[in-house]
Amino acid sequence: MPSSGGLPSRPLVSDVRDPPRRREGGRHIVIHALARLRVTLGFVSGAIVLALARPTPRSLEIGFAIAAIGEAIRIWAAGHLNKGREVTTSGPYRWVAHPLYVGSSVMGIGLAVACANLTAATVIVAYLVTTLTAAMKSEETYLRRTFGEQYELYRDSQRARRLMSTARTPRRFSLALAMTNREYRAVTGFVVAILLLVLKATYNGVFQGRAGR
């Protein structure tokens, strides 16, 4: 049936495609917001976890040992990362696309163990899953937009990563580069978390009970 302008009416493509596009756009907005609010949400989650934590000497020993491994992974990765300038392929980046987040996850597991409380551990896991997933997706979008095919090659296979890394002069770990990437913030946060949990255990009289044996 012709329209008022004399042209045959036809369904608008945008009418069909717009809802999926809007959903996709909304998803990107949520991911970006979670990535940006990661630190703020970390403070909120940390306060909740501290209130719920029931650390014991044994849980502190095991948890802090696990968390220390996670921080070591982060330092190793930060000492190779040349953020925003290249697709880094040296150090842990030869095997893992997001070693910083792997380190953060291991740290989170360690702190969950140290807390010795299931609800606190659940809060930590929920925080890590939501914020780190959002951060990784946001970062991958940026890297694909910035480096295009080079990043796709890096993600394609482990063999491609090795080829790319051996094609250049191998980069050694650099503590100065780790400092430039502000890894000292994560170290500071790790130390503060240790101190707070130790203080919580002391407040609960855990160490007094052990000393009295």
With beta carbons less than 8 A apart as the criterion, state whether 110 and 63 touch: yes
- The DSSP element (H or E) to which 143 belongs, if any, is helix 118-147
Amino acid sitting at position 114: A
Give the pLDDT score at 87.
Answer: 77
Give the pLDDT score at 141.
Answer: 74
Provide the CA 181 distance to its chain's centre, in angstroms: 15
pTM, rounded to two decimals: 0.74
Q: What is the mean pLDDT of each run of 10 residues along the chain (213 residues)?
A: 49 50 61 74 93 96 98 97 81 89 96 97 95 82 73 61 53 92 95 96 81 53
* Residue whose C-alpha is closest to residue 138's, from 52, 24, 10, 36: 36
DSSP structure string for 90-106: SGGGGT-S-HHHHHHHH
Straight-line distance from the first to the last Cα atom of the chain, in angstroms, rounded to the nearest whole number: 93
**Any idea how long the chain is?**
213
Give the pLDDT score at 1.
Answer: 45
Give the pLDDT score at 15.
Answer: 46
Give the pLDDT score at 2.
Answer: 47
Cα–Cα dist 54/91, whole Å: 37
CB atoms within 10 A of CB 11: 7
Cα–Cα dist 2/48, whole Å: 64
104-155 residue pLDDT tens: 999 999 999 999 999 999 999 999 999 988 888 877 777 777 777 777 776 6
Query: In the chain, how long is the greatest CA-to-CA distance?
Result: 96
DSSP structure string for 82-140: -TTTS---SGGGGT-S-HHHHHHHHHHHHHHHHHT-HHHHHHHHHHHHHHHHHHHHHHH
